[in-house]
Amino acid sequence: MMLLLRFTETRRVWITRVAALAFLIGLAGAAQAITFDEVRRSHQPSETLLLDRHGELLQRVRTDLTVRRGPWIPLNSVSPSLRTALVLSEDKRFYEHSGVDWRAVSSAAWANLWNTRTRGASTLTMQLAGLLDEDLRLGGSRNLRQKIGQAVMATRLESSWRKDQVLEAYLNLVPFRGELVGIDALSRTLFDKASHGLNESEAALAAALVRAPNARPPAVAARACGVLKAMRGAREKTDCLALEMQAEIMLSRRAYAASEGIAPHLSRRLLANAKNGDASEKPAAPGKAPELSLRSTLDARIQRVALESLVQHVKEMRGRNVEDGAVVVLDNASGEVLAWVGSTGSLSAAAEVDGVLAQRQPGSTLKPFLYAQAIAERRLTAASLLDDSPAYLPTTSGLYIPQNYDRQFKGWVSARTALASSLNVPAVRTLVMVSPAAFARQLGALGIALGQPGYYYGYSLALGSAEVSLLQLTNAYRTMANGGRYSPVAYQPRLPSARPVEFTPALDPAASFVISDILSDGNARARTFGTDSILATRFWTAVKTGTSKDMRDNWAVGYSQRYTIGVWIGNASGKAMWDVSGTSGAAPVWAALMRELHARTPSTAPRAPAGVVKTAVSFGEQLEAARSEWFLAGTEQPLFAVSTAPSVADSKARANASNDGRAAVPSRILSPANGTILALDPDIPPARQRLTLLADAGTNSASSLRWFIGTREIGRGLRAQWLPWPGRHKVQLRDAKGEVQDELSVEVRGAGVKAAVAKR
């Protein structure tokens, strides 16, 4: 009797509840529901997309750290297997009901009556209602009020939505596992593929995660096995053990990187700009939600080639202690950045450091601007002779003694040869003419803002002792390519209403033309780089390499008629590379990019601007071969020679000595100067730190001269090489009789030099 009463009472309660639910749903039929288009438009991915100039995707950057949600995926871009698996797993009568599955509701009520556990009555549409309205989202316990609310909203949705819209919205909003929300995030994270590529097994596993998103792999595999059997029916045997192994592998994967693609560094820069309101919203295609996107000036093809060329070359150089690099490609006319590669990615221990913007020493790559300034100021011509011999320049901290890369000197060379062959001493002599302060101002006009005034760097500024970024340096070369006209770079597309690119004069156009001609002259660079250099191209280009102190940075920057390319190779940590030269470091990447960009695009030499003339020149003592040379109008001359005439005083002294023998001219030391302070560099092998001693014989025989350091003879003749060691030393020049002709004092500093050196 008691059992019968309990049954009657429970049945009355459930009949009342079901009747109330049906009544509420009936009332909801006429209520206005949220539209599918509103849901789609409100969808916000957790990442921002960086697009190239043509709209091609370059980079995905995580901007919402609370969830991992991809872009809205249209239903026709979802695997048919997944659609089938989801319906079979969650709502078998999805295409039969109108939001509420009354058969499932009655079954659930009857089961509840007998305390029997069974599948819930929630349809896909009801679950979607819970995803759309947080108040209707079920927690750990079932709530009748929320169930009724879901049913009401589900009826509203299906009164205005099509079934395919319900399924599409559900797939994009349903949480799967952990932070993963929506089918795009699930597919790319756990299956490493797009959602349209999921096969039957993967679809079954994905559907299984809806019911138990955080279950262990065996539980997920067991449910997926049931789904897969339902999908296949009796036509094919299902291997549940293989499915469990697949689940283990799938669920062991971690979420993909916060930023994935081929342009991470520029993405971060554009995102920073977007915070100031510069982001753009990509218009929604039919059936797709709008996405937050950042349009850039990059060209995906050029970006890809630049990255691949850099990574491949750095891989080949790993044996030389090289792990980082950067590349930037500029369009000469517009200044738009076509490629921005900030690092070598996984090859680098500091992949987040942007090598395009990092401040590094540019080495010899500043020399073209120095020579251009000297030519523009009419201090030099391309044919002027410069002395590539030991130089001792007094500074406030002692003597500055520049050296060439190969520790050798070429003697008298033309400015063309000195620049193209990257000789250091002539460049320093040129800076003496121009002055460091004036050169620093010239660099500033080219967009290279130095951290300190010119006098801070002194004469070493000619050899790149300041720090610059690859972007600044490359744009300065682009200024040269444009005839001395400067404009800033651009990495965001210009609006159609924007004004044309405005250029400002930064360098004399005639001098720029002469320097471009020198940098394109393979014969002029042959003394250092040989005649078959990698810098030589089949089309017109102008290029300069550079290496900073201790091989910490290597550069190749140059331009064609249309493009300017800058490449940096080194280590973000500042570690020195091993045996890396101008042609083995950055140059191969520069050359490969130039060849790719000009595979179908010609590049011809620029036309000579007004104020430039070409004249045949020859050189005295056959210092260089006769040639035709470019000059600024008014500076041309046919012959360049070194004056070897003695001074008037020396002529008189020698004449007197030859007449009566009483006024002999003593020999004297020309170099170094008295009081010279030498600082030995512990990073340079001691054997390469030799000091050249020079003398004037006077009326003595050159062969009779003897060089002494203290009491030790170190050489004979007008020139001697001395391997200095720390301490204060007296340098003497003696004749054959041992009489001192001249003497001076020098001090050698260098605590890092081994004591064994002093014994040599």
Four-residue CA torsion sign, 529, 534, 540, 542 = negative
Q: Which has the closest alpha carbon to 359: 434, 452, 437?
A: 452
CA distance 628 to 24: 97
Q: Which has the closest alpha carbon to 463: 549, 527, 353, 341?
A: 549
Residue 6 confidence (pLDDT): 45
pLDDT tens for 358-417 read 999 999 999 999 999 999 999 999 999 998 887 666 665 565 666 666 556 788 999 999
Residue 452 has pLDDT above 80, yes or no: yes
Residue 401 confidence (pLDDT): 65
Instruction: Report residue 684's pLDDT band, with 50, 70 and 90 as the boundaries.
Output: low
Domain 309-620 in the same topology as domain 2-46+65-251:
no
If you average pLDDT over residues 302-329, what whole number do you get?
96
Strands 676-679 and 740-749: parallel
If you average pLDDT over residues 630-635, what whole number do you get?
96
AA letter at 678: L
Lowest-pLDDT choice from 11-25, 299-313, 415-429: 11-25
Q: Which residue has the higher pLDDT, 218 or 275?
A: 218
Q: Which has the closest alpha carbon to 123: 96, 161, 144?
A: 96
Q: Which residue has the higher pLDDT, 303 or 395?
A: 303
Residue 571 has pLDDT above 50, yes or no: yes
Residue 757 has pLDDT above 50, yes or no: no
Instruction: Report residue 142's pLDDT band, with 50, 70 and 90 as the boundaries.
Output: low
Contact predicate 454/440, CB 8 Å: yes
Lowest-pLDDT choice from 140-144, 653-657, 737-741: 653-657
Residue 607 has pLDDT above 60, yes or no: yes
Four-residue CA torsion sign, 271, 275, 278, 282 = positive
Residue 27 confidence (pLDDT): 43
Instruction: Report residue 445's pLDDT band, with 50, 70 and 90 as the boundaries.
Output: very high
Contact predicate 488/586, CB 8 Å: no
Which residue in the block uniquely carries the two structure tokens 């927690």? 139
| Residue 170 neighbours by CB distance under 10 Å | 23
Q: Which residue has the higher pLDDT, 622 or 5?
A: 622
Residue 752 has pLDDT above 50, yes or no: no
For residue 324, list its beta bridge partners: 570
Residue 383 confidence (pLDDT): 96
Q: Which residue has the higher pLDDT, 278 or 529?
A: 529
Structure token digits, residue 339: 């490629």
Structure token digits, residue 212: 């138990």
Q: What percent of the chain has pLDDT over 70?
A: 81
Show the CA angle centred on residue 590, arms to residues 297 and 369, nearest 5°: 85
Superfamily of 2-46+65-251 according to CATH:
Biosynthetic peptidoglycan transglycosylase-like (1.10.3810.10)
Residue 643 confidence (pLDDT): 61
Q: Which has the closest alpha carbon to 419: 456, 479, 373?
A: 373
State whether residue 693 is helix, strand or coil: strand
AA letter at 552: R
Residue 758 has pLDDT above 50, yes or no: no
pTM of the model: 0.73
Contact predicate 281/287, CB 8 Å: no
CA distance 431 to 408: 20
If you average pLDDT over residues 679-683, what whole number do you get?
67
Separation of CA 670 from chain center: 49
Q: Where are the domains of the chain?
A: 2-46+65-251, 309-620, 664-758
Q: Of the segments 242-246, 471-475, 577-581, which one has the largest average pLDDT value?
A: 471-475
CA distance 717 to 447: 49
If you average pLDDT over residues 735-759, what whole number do you get?
69
pLDDT tens for 178-196 read 888 999 988 888 888 889 9
Residue 642 confidence (pLDDT): 83
If you average pLDDT over residues 517-533, what whole number do you get?
89
Report DSSP state, residue 707: E
Give long-range contacts, CB 8 A cutoff, 24+ apart: 228-233.
228/85, 228/200, 228/201, 228/204, 230/88, 231/81, 231/84, 231/85, 231/88, 231/200, 231/203, 231/204, 232/200
Enumerate residues 6+ apart whose C-beta is below 8 A from 251.
Answer: 177, 190, 217, 220
Instruction: Report residue 652's pLDDT band, with 50, 70 and 90 as the boundaries.
Output: very low
CA distance 669 to 554: 38
Q: What percent of the chain has pLDDT over 90?
A: 47
Q: Of the segments 359-368, 618-627, 724-733, which one has the largest average pLDDT value?
A: 359-368
Structure token digits, residue 550: 């201790």
Instruction: Look up the CATH number of domain 664-758.
Output: 2.60.40.10
Contact predicate 447/480, CB 8 Å: no
Residue 8 has pLDDT above 60, yes or no: no
Contact predicate 529/516, CB 8 Å: no
Residue 661 confidence (pLDDT): 44
Report DSSP state, residue 326: E
AA letter at 203: A
Instruction: Please state, in angstroms and as integers, the Cα–Cα distance from residue 593 to each residue in 51, 253, 516, 541, 581, following that order.
Output: 21, 36, 19, 12, 19
Residue 326 confidence (pLDDT): 98
Q: Which residue has the higher pLDDT, 472 or 581?
A: 472
Contact predicate 256/246, CB 8 Å: no
Instruction: Report residue 527's pLDDT band, with 50, 70 and 90 as the boundaries.
Output: confident
Q: Which residue has the higher pLDDT, 74 or 259?
A: 74
CA distance 613 to 149: 88
Residue 191 confidence (pLDDT): 87
Mean pLDDT of the chain: 83
Provide DSSP, 465-476: -S-B-HHHHHHH
Nearest 5°: phi and psi at 330? -120, 145
Which residue in the block uniquely carries the two structure tokens 């001192």? 740
Residue 468 confidence (pLDDT): 97
Residue 235 confidence (pLDDT): 67
Residue 248 confidence (pLDDT): 83
State whether residue 245 is helix, strand or coil: helix
Q: Which residue has the higher pLDDT, 519 or 221?
A: 519
If you average pLDDT over residues 425-438, what whole number do you get?
92
Nearest 5°: phi and psi at 121? -95, 5
CA distance 725 to 718: 22
pLDDT tens for 33-60 read 689 999 998 888 888 889 999 999 999 8
CA distance 88 to 82: 10
CA distance 93 to 454: 80
Tell me the chain's radius of gyration from C-alpha atoms: 39
Residue 102 has pLDDT above 80, yes or no: no
Q: Which residue has the higher pLDDT, 256 or 260?
A: 260
Residue 31 confidence (pLDDT): 44
Largest CA distance in the chain: 156
Pick the CATH number of 309-620 from 3.40.30.10, 3.40.50.300, 2.60.120.380, 3.40.710.10: 3.40.710.10
CA distance 694 to 687: 19
Nearest 5°: phi and psi at 24? -65, -40
> What would the 3-class secondary structure string for 30-91 be?
CCCCCCHHHHHHHCCCCEEEEECCCCCEEEEEECCCCCEECCCCCHHHCCHHHHHHHHHHHC
